[in-house]
Amino acid sequence: MQIAQHTVATLEYTLTDDSGQVLDTSEGRAPLAYVHGTGSLIPGLEKELEGKASGDAFQIRVPPDMAYGERDEAIIQTVPRSQLPAEVEIEVGMQFQAESEHGMHVLTVMEVQGETVRMDPNHPLAGVSLNFDVKIVEVRAATSEEIEHRHVHGPEGHDH
């Protein structure tokens, strides 16, 4: 069976950046299962998976515009230190979750300047090309409930 709209594909993968650093991997845990065609993966990866079958293995490089987008320097914010939790010592690279009209997103501390903090709302992987090493483990038809929920049920997904 080939990966197509509303199939459930299970895959093993390792994600690295261009310097070879591993950003994410399914190694040592359960493979990733997803419902194809529901936008649950980054667009560049989902597109390449289309038509692949169980046993297929391949490597792809997904540019930022097909992954988490380009970095936007214009959205960097300078916020008063007092807006951040007082009990935490703020350090560069520290990440905070914030809620906006687009849902939850991550703000990364870029710089601490006295009473102000420069925060970067860009996705941590914005501007990064993603190198995927993928092996397809299984492809099956999604159930109507899985299509409706846009996620996988059963042993490889959640149960409810």
Question: Exposure of 87 by Cβ count < 10 A (0-12 exposed, 13-18 middle, 19+ buried)?
Answer: exposed
Window 140-159: contact mask with Zn ion (x via CB under 5 A): ---------x----------
User: In whole angstroms, how close is the CB of 9 to Zn ion at the nearest point?
Assistant: 17
Contact pattern from residue 90 through residue 129 relative to Zn ion, giving x for each residue in contact according to CB under 5 A and a dash for the rest: ----------------------------------------
Q: How far is it, in rounded angstroms, from Cα 15 to Cα 131?
A: 6
Residue facing Zn ion at closest CB distance: 149
Is 6 or 149 the residue whose CB approaches Zn ion more closely? 149
For the CB of residue 160, give the shortest distance to Zn ion in the complex, in Å. Answer: 6
Enter the tokens of residue 27: 């190694």
Least separation in angstroms between residue 38's CB and Zn ion is 12
Dump strand ranges (E) for the chain. 7-16, 22-25, 32-35, 57-62, 77-80, 95-100, 103-113, 116-120, 130-141
Can you read off the two tokens belonging to residue 30? 């359960």
Applying CB under 5 A, which residues contact Zn ion?
149
